[in-house]
Chains A and B, each alone.
Chain A
Amino acid sequence: MLLPHEFTLGDFISSLTIENRPFKIGRDGKFQDEGQSVLHHAMYSQNPVIYALMSFTENIREGNQVWMLFQILNRVRANRFSEEEQHLFKRVISILLVVLPFEKVLAVFIALRRSRANRKRVRKTVLSYIFNHPEIRFLALQQRKTIVDCIEHAAGKNVARACAKYVKELDSGSNDKTKSNYLNRHLLCFAENHEQAKRVLGFLYQKETRPAVMPEREISSRPDYRHLFEPKIETPKTVTATNRGDIAATLVHIYRGGATSTLMEALADFVADEASTTLPFEGKLAVILDASTSTQGYGEREFCIISQSVALLQVLEVCCQNLQVYIAGGDGTPPRPMGPSDLATPLLEALESKPDLVVIISDGYENSFAGDLKDVVAYLPQADIRIPVVFCHSKFTGKDDLSLRNPLPQKLQIEFWHQNDFNSILFQLFAMAGGWYRTDWLQSVLTDRLNNIEKEIPTWMSLT
């Protein structure tokens, strides 16, 4: 596994969509999975705003959102960010609190306690969450002790217990304004529904073993928001040469010998349609297209690999005007598979133009000069060449075995077989090309996602 300092932005994005490590902290404040803790700590430090926004990366695993919620709550200090940035953090936190399961959020609150993170934002977040949660009456029954721990950490043990005592007294007919004000100031100010908050607090601190407050209703199924982070795509059950997306299907027909004007026009339209779903990227890309003989394939799969590779290339070309293509093998337009797969030579040519990123689109068979690509890429840091190189595996189906076609085993691999994959690939490539510090494009895309997700979730949790 890579060490945190070796993680590029692209590696981190991959890790967000692949890894799903549990978030567990011991009583000593140490995380069970220290590696993941160190990684998220390091990634937050690179660019806290982008880090926070990346919790809406397409296909992000839930576990990562938990780690990210913790980092943001634990480390964001109001005085270090502009008002606009602070507002953004609040929106991110609010969304994460709604979409993550209750017990995972409580785990974060407990971790904040064990890390001794107690600031105004933490207090407000914890108390707002607990007292405004729509299912709190049921959840309080299940997690009573943990919730009390969280409230006492956020409000302070004495304050919380005083509040509970005052609730009981006020409930018994006391009309003490001082106590009422105290309660409002320290606790009820975070709750939309004061009466419910008082009932919950009263229930949490009651001494009887049998709960005096029963849930109003059992929760039959908790709302699940995972679909908000997954692309809305349909995948064919049986993969054929022509159901891997419209662009590749059209290219297959063209390669088979049907380069009619109708097909060529349709191809341009399909490419434009696909490209329109991604914001234009201003950076500079170099793309190496492997059009060597092996990309032709055979039998029913003939021309499938080269077609999907060319499809991705054509969409990239529309989205990124400053893009230079280097072709390994191939002949004609679109390049017809031909010749050996020398990927190292075009890589060296591509690097000379000093792009922001080099993208290699290949079937992974480095038949000629095997090992050269790996060695050239491994050499780059020695010459202080920091341009990221990413290998994009063009496959026939999602289940292709890549064990014998992996010329850059130590480097980030992006796999694709269907046009459905393009959107997330472009996101990852353009994010990598910008890096952690030239983030205009990334920030725009992620803010769009944040806006869209915000529209899809209930509004009970708002810190803004």
Chain B
Amino acid sequence: MDVTHLVPETLPLPELDLTGYGFGQPQSSGAMTMLPLFSSDSHDQFVPPLSGLKLSKVEGYGNVELYNPSDSGIAIVPLHIGYIQDQAQNHALCRTAFISAGQKLMFRDACCVQESQGGYLEGREQWFFILPLPLRENALALRGTEGYSKLWSDISILNNQFGYQDRGHLEQIIGGQRSYLTQYQNRFELLPRQTGALFFDREKLIGVEIAPNPDYFKELWMGLLCFCYGVEAMYQERHLSVENSAQTKFSAASLDQLKVQLQERRKEKLKDIAEMLIYTSDENFQMEEEERFLSLRLYTITGERFVGQIVKDGERLVYASVFAKGRYLRKPVT
């Protein structure tokens, strides 16, 4: 797919230098639009998060150990990764981190997301998700803070918004609504060689997700789309009216003219996306370095409307998970 002609002139956020990235055709379903990203660089030294990153053990509630079993690849732990297993308390991490080949890394600031379930996660049957978008701002703020129940109050609020019992039991959403959420991945199509995506709630940018390489993004995709953005989409569709903006109707006199009009309309849609980006392009981020690994740098970036973590190798962006803050997420675009 030739995506070079689709590159909008405006880049989303100044600290996220997307030079070298191509944009695919936007995909929309309900309130959500996903703009696929393609990188011309391939950072193949980074292992994908499902096959290349394993949950090693849980050492008491709130302490999760991950393991990079590869011989040479570096693991970038996806921000807000969570693990689900039957008969064990599900946990999620508050931050990303580097794990070198063969290394085990204990996260003592992990949070339990399943208040009413006992038992420890084991290294079997690993199935991961990314925390729902509305929880991510506070989860990131709690990085470095020990205490397995620290996210329960936020989970309770989210449960309450969905009309569920207000307890720190995320399973009510990600387990109870599994059917809706897993089917959500059919509403957006991962494209060949796709390495990232921008997510929009109608006209508003709400997330920038960039992976080091296509294999990484492919393995991240379901957990990210279904459980991070899918939960927000489910809330929007069930609790807010979702109306897609009307598109220009055709006035062609022949099939040939219609083809032309169809292409023009699609270009218009891209322009609309570019305008959405302009709207969010004046964000000023504060960057806080968290960790180094050889030439790699992990930063937490905080702006007025967005927050997240990114990994850079020199000036080149390697990984990013930057998302709308809670107040901005539910605030209508003016």
Contact = CB atoms under 8 A, between A and B. Distances in A.
Interface in A139-165: none
A298 B244 contact: no
A367 B225 CA distance: 14
A81 B245 CA distance: 55
B284 interface: no
A367 B188 contact: yes
Given A340-B25, A368-B25, A370-B244, A299 B182 contact: yes
A379 B253 CA distance: 10
A166 B250 CA distance: 75
B195 to A, nearest CB: 15
B249 A367 contact: no
27 contacts: A293-B189, A294-B187, A297-B186, A298-B185, A339-B1, A340-B189, A344-B262, A348-B255, A348-B259, A351-B255, A363-B186, A365-B29, A365-B187, A365-B189, A367-B29, A367-B188, A368-B26, A371-B247, A372-B262, A375-B247, A375-B249, A375-B250, A376-B250, A378-B249, A383-B255, A383-B258, A405-B187
Interface of B: 1, 24-30, 182, 185-192, 222, 244, 247, 249-255, 258-259, 262, 265-266, 269
Nearest to B36: A340
Nearest to A297: B186
Contacts of A298: 182, 185, 222
Interface in A317-373: 329, 338-342, 344-345, 348, 351-352, 363, 365, 367-372
A394 to B, nearest CB: 12
Q: Secondary structure of the B side of the interface?
A: loop
Among B25, B27, B186, the one with the most A-chain Cβ atoms within 10 Å of its Cβ is B186
A375 B269 CA distance: 15
Contacts of A363: 186
A367 B258 contact: no
A369 B25 contact: yes
Among A351, A367, A378, the one with the most B-chain Cβ atoms within 10 Å of its Cβ is A367
Give the size range of A's interface with the partner.
20 to 34
Interface of A: 292-294, 297-299, 329, 338-342, 344-345, 348, 351-352, 363, 365, 367-372, 375-376, 378-379, 382-383, 385, 404-405
Contact of B244 (A371, A372, A405): A371
A383 B187 CA distance: 31
A324 to B, nearest CB: 16
Contact of A340 (B27, B29, B30, B253): B27
A345 B260 CA distance: 11
A293 B254 CA distance: 31
Contacts of A339: 1, 189, 191-192
B27 A368 contact: yes
Contacts of B189: 292-294, 329, 339-341, 365, 367-368
A376 B260 CA distance: 12
A352 B255 contact: yes
Contacts of A367: 27-29, 187-189
The 7 closest A-B pairs by CB, nearest first: A293-B189, A367-B27, A294-B186, A379-B250, A370-B28, A367-B189, A368-B25
Contacts of A383: 252-255, 258
A372 B250 CA distance: 10
A368 B24 CA distance: 10
A348 B251 CA distance: 15
A369 B34 CA distance: 11
A338 B192 contact: yes
A405 to B, nearest CB: 7
B187 A340 contact: no
A269 to B, nearest CB: 32
Contacts of B249: 375, 378-379
Contacts of B187: 294, 365, 367, 404-405
Nearest to B248: A375
A369 B182 contact: no
A370 B255 contact: no
A293 B191 contact: yes
